[in-house]
Amino acid sequence: MGLLMIFLSGVLFALGLGISGMTQPEKVVSFLNVVGDWDPSLIFVMLGASMTYLTGYVFILKRSKPAFARSFTLPTSRDIDRPLVFGSLLFGLGWGLVGFCPGPALVALVTGYDSVLIFLLAMGFGMYSFEVLDSRLKGDPDGGAGLIIKR
């Protein structure tokens, strides 16, 4: 039942992204262009999503446990460190340059546009490269590739 709820949540999210225009890079870029031809319509999408999340968060945490899990698993770390700030800056820079972020790009994949596929391939390559580099810096002998068999 839990997997079905996850799937239905994803479908609902994808429909919301598509209907709101968040899968259209030109709409996102025009929202981010506050000094040019600014399109403020995505503020309403963000406000709607934020209010829905806040309402659900408040009501769900009043329950003794989640409907499809044994207990709540909430993040405990509130640290603002260098990787968080640097990753946020890179995410924002990428979003501003091309108008895609991961969720909307996955939804827009059904359009068949080459730019979406290129973005997703570049994103995947970047994620893989980070994992390999991060593993090597932490001393993993195979650089995170999972090739070393430990006996």
Instruction: Indicate whether 38 belongs to any domain.
Output: yes
Instruction: Indicate whether 29 belongs to any domain.
Output: yes
Instruction: Indicate whether 101 belongs to any domain.
Output: no
Instruction: Indicate whether 145 belongs to any domain.
Output: no
Burial of 115 (0-12, 13-18, 19+ CB in 10 A): middle
CA gap 125, 105 in Å, rounded: 15
Residue 145: the pLDDT is 59
Range of 67's domain?
Answer: 2-78
The model's pTM is 0.67
CA gap 120, 34 in Å, rounded: 26
List of residues 6+ apart from 30 with CB closer than 8 A: 36, 37, 38, 39
Nearest to 96 by CA among 147, 146, 35: 35
CA gap 117, 109 in Å, rounded: 7
pLDDT band at 149 (very low <50, low <70, confident <90, very high): low
pLDDT of 79-135, one tens digit each? 999 989 998 998 888 888 888 888 888 888 888 889 899 999 999 998 898 888 888
Total number of domains constituting the chain = 1
pLDDT band at 143 (very low <50, low <70, confident <90, very high): low
